[in-house]
Amino acid sequence: MTFQTSIRAALFGLAALGLGSAASADQLADIKAAGKIVTATDMHYAPFDMLTNGTYEGMTKDLFDEVSKEIGVEPVYQDIPWTAELPGLEVGKFDIVIAPVTITPERLERYTFTLPIADATVALVRAAANDTLTRPEDIKGKTVGVQQGTAQFKQLEAFGQSLGDVTIKEYGTTDEAYADLAAGRLDAVAGSLPNLTYLVKNRPETFALFDEPKFGEPKYFAWVLRKEEATESFANAIRDAIIKMTEDGRVQAIQEKWLGTYTELPLEVPAE
């Protein structure tokens, strides 16, 4: 290869890189060109994400089906372990994490969040037969399960430290924690109030909420995108879809279907 040929090849390579950058400068345009949104979620987080006889369903799916319709593309749903979702998003393995992610100040610095999709305030559930646990403070001296790597874990950890003598056991999924609670290996499980409300609603013979179930600051769940200029158009399209769905009653209908109640959510991303 001659020197001039090498220069031409190098320039061609740079031009190709430039074209690649231009093509990915607008994520919404790329998504519409592909005709699909590639998502990631953990399908073991009822009532948001569930596999029922091998079929994906839940509140998240119902909401995101409608958002995808508003954008005009098809959703592609992938079952990814929670601990691999945000790292996978950062390296571009999918377009968005639709597992409900609690909005926190630390995460806001690193990711772009959509409008809230549900309440995420942390709460406690116990075995139905154990009526000695009524207030959050009653977990002092007890063993409490929680899903690892979640904001609920961090809130439980801080609350446990303030009480002293609280043993925290981490689980890969909430289903594993619920199974140990039912088997008597845990005294309680901490999680978001919607998740625990759904659990008790469907298995009242096994589980019960504390009389005062919530502790910590009010929090919200949302979906997560990469924090970069290219994602702004995609985030805006999701925002517009959620606002439209809130105004026409679809958000309320989906909440009531899965949670049995409706909670009005902020139409802006909370600062913390």
Amino acid at 170: E
Asked if 237 and 158 touch (Cβ cutoff 8 Å), the reply is: no
| Rounded CA separation 86/90 (Å) | 6
Q: ω before 204 within 30° of 0 (cis)?
A: no
CB neighbourhood size of 52 (10 A):
10
For residue 269, the SS3 value is coil
Helix (H) or strand (E) holding 190: strand 188-192
Amino acid at 229: E
pLDDT(24) > 70: no
Interval 164-193 mean pLDDT? 96
- pLDDT attached to residue 271: 79
CATH code that applies to domain 122-214: 3.40.190.10
The residue that leads in pLDDT, 154 or 20, is: 154
- pLDDT attached to residue 189: 98
Is residue 216 left, alpha or beta, with left meaning phi > 0 and alpha meaning psi from -120 to 50?
left
pLDDT(18) > 70: no
For residue 110, the SS3 value is helix
| Rounded CA separation 73/58 (Å) | 20
Long-range CB contact pairs, 66-70, < 8 A, 24+: 66/241, 66/245, 66/250, 66/254, 67/238, 67/241, 67/242, 67/245, 68/37, 70/237, 70/240, 70/241, 70/244, 70/245
Whether the domain at 16-119+219-259 and the domain at 122-214 fall into the same CATH topology = yes
Domain boundaries, the chain: 16-119+219-259, 122-214
- pLDDT attached to residue 5: 37
CATH code that applies to domain 16-119+219-259: 3.40.190.10
Interval 191-201 mean pLDDT? 92
Q: What is the pLDDT of residues 222-272, one digit of tens each?
A: 999 999 999 999 999 999 999 999 999 999 999 999 988 898 999 999 876
Name the burial class of residue 257, with classes exposed (0-12), middle (13-18) and buried (19+) by CB atoms within 10 angstroms of its CB: exposed
Nearest to 190 by CA among 153, 135, 140, 138: 153
What is the pLDDT of the chain when averaged over all its residues?
90
The residue that leads in pLDDT, 120 or 23, is: 120
pLDDT band at 128 (very low <50, low <70, confident <90, very high): very high
Edge to edge, the sheet with strand 44-45 lists: 44-45, 49-52, 55-57
Note the pTM of the prediction, 2 decimals: 0.76
Interval 112-137 mean pLDDT? 96
Interval 115-133 mean pLDDT? 95
Asked if 49 and 41 touch (Cβ cutoff 8 Å), the reply is: yes
Q: What is the pLDDT of residues 35-90, one digit of tens each?
A: 999 999 999 988 999 999 999 999 999 999 999 999 999 999 999 999 999 999 99
- pLDDT attached to residue 25: 86
